[in-house]
Amino acid sequence: MAFMPPFGPQGTQQQPPSAPPPSAIPPKPMTSTLAIDPGAISRCLFRYTYIWPRSGPGFWFYPVFVGRTSISGFRWNGFFWMFSGFDLSRIDAFTCV
């Protein structure tokens, strides 16, 4: 996936949240979709979002951009927010708080 800089509307740079994500992991929603719809996950823009990938452990994410096939934002690594992005097809489920 191509690098997408953390820019929002009118090219203003987006900042990561100033606080860590919630300490409690939300319950995983029941899903049976083959791919995450960009319209569905776009309601999570600029909100703490927990993502369960198709493989690997879940993680907190703070999305700042949702494209047709990808998402980018800030991923919590346990200590601080890091900018990252990935394909929507790699997401099994998500929930935003």
- pTM listed for this prediction: 0.85
How far is the C-alpha of 49 from the C-alpha of 65, rounded, in Å? 13
Amino acid at site 87: D
pLDDT, position 88: 96
Spell out the alpha helix ranges (H) of 32-88.
Answer: 38-41
**pLDDT tens by residue, 28-39:** 998 667 779 999
Residue 75: CB atoms within 10 Å: 20
DSSP state of 6: S
